[in-house]
Amino acid sequence: MLDYSTVTADADLENDLRALVRLSIAEDLADQVDWTSVCLIDATTTGSCDVVPRQAGICAGLVTLPWIIEEFDADIRVQCFGNDGAMMPAGQPLARLTGNARDLLTCERTVLNIISRLCGVATGVRRYVEKVAEYKANVYDTRKTTPGWRLLEKYAVQCGGAKNHRRGLYDGFLIKDNHLQLGGTSGQARLASEAARQALAWSDCEIERMHAPTLVEIEVDTLAQLRDVLPTGPHIVLIDNFSLEEMRQAVALRDELNPRVELEASGTVTIDTIADIAATGVDRISSGALTHQATWLDLGLDWADQTAS
């Protein structure tokens, strides 16, 4: 079965991370210096700091630490003790930063902001994934991400054990109700089946060296729409805001008319409802809450040894 690509620690992720760090540096320093550290800390003072979780959770973002330090042009060596995607106990250091004490203090907040956010996303996602562990449904994120943070947050999602939905508007056809409402003739909304056929005809074509995505997904709001679209054979049908009973009926209808089509449930997905949704037999469950409702995990930067000049 076709699926959306997984975000990994690749060059695209690194580029996004470095851009965010440059913005963070501009916010904190504004072409000046960390005046408190310059005033109180000798330029030759060195030391080591540990990145320490104050609460247990899932590790995400350690791979970004060397990139953060490089953007600061800091005299700091990075040593990681954990792995992204692994459980981290409270109080057990994730990484050690060793080098110039002024540099350590200057980059402290940016390091903690980024890693805390990513660990928070991954930790919340793991709770959702554990809720559906006994069912076949996979949990997916959405494009409801913090502007500029999309790849980073999607990376944290897969660290938490869920899967990535499309990255943007460019890597998958996703026909939604607004497309159908605007795409008809004589003021009538376009039929879901017509829209699906059109997208399937466009999939994997080439225009001016651009390749259209292969995967076609369409959103339906009713069982009647689902019955209309299933024979056309989209890869995924998104059943939006269906009741649990309607989801069960949708699964039965899919099994009858086109078992190869995967069903994705969305809307009203919370940590309290996701298990019941998975029990209906759907293949995928997508939720924007994985990212837009995520809370940071509390991390601190603690001196690992006494600084020395």
Residuewise pLDDT in 10s, the chain (309 residues): 789 999 999 999 999 999 999 999 999 999 999 999 999 999 999 999 999 999 999 999 999 999 999 999 999 999 999 999 999 999 999 999 999 999 999 999 999 999 999 999 999 999 999 999 999 999 999 999 999 999 999 999 999 999 999 999 999 999 998 888 876 555 556 788 888 999 888 888 888 888 888 999 999 999 999 999 999 999 999 999 999 999 999 999 999 999 999 999 999 899 999 999 999 999 999 999 999 999 999 999 999 975 544
Helix (H) or strand (E) holding 301: strand 299-303
Q: Report phi then psi at 42, rounded to 5.
A: -65, 145
The pLDDT value given to residue 309: 44
Q: Which domains does the chain have, with CATH numbers?
A: 11-128+295-303 (3.90.1170.20), 129-292 (3.20.20.70)
Predicted local distance difference test score (pLDDT) of residue 131: 98
**Tokens standing for residue 260:** 């190869």
Query: What is residue 178's predicted lDDT score, i.e. its pLDDT?
Result: 84
DSSP 229-286: HGGG--SEEEEES--HHHHHHHHHHHHHH-TTSEEEEESS--TTTHHHHHTTT-SEEE
* CB-neighbour burial class of residue 258 (10 A; exposed 0-12, middle 13-18, buried 19+): middle
What's the pLDDT at 210?
87
Locate 171 and state its tokens: 């890597």
pTM exceeds 0.85: yes
Question: With contact defined as beta carbons under 8 Å apart, do 122 and 159 qualify?
Answer: yes
* Residue 224 pLDDT: 94
Task: Round to whole Å and give the CA distance between 300 and 186.
Answer: 61
Instruction: Report the pLDDT value the prediction gives residue 186, as an integer from 0 to 100.
Output: 52
Question: Which residues are annotated as catalytic?
Answer: 109, 144, 176, 208, 240
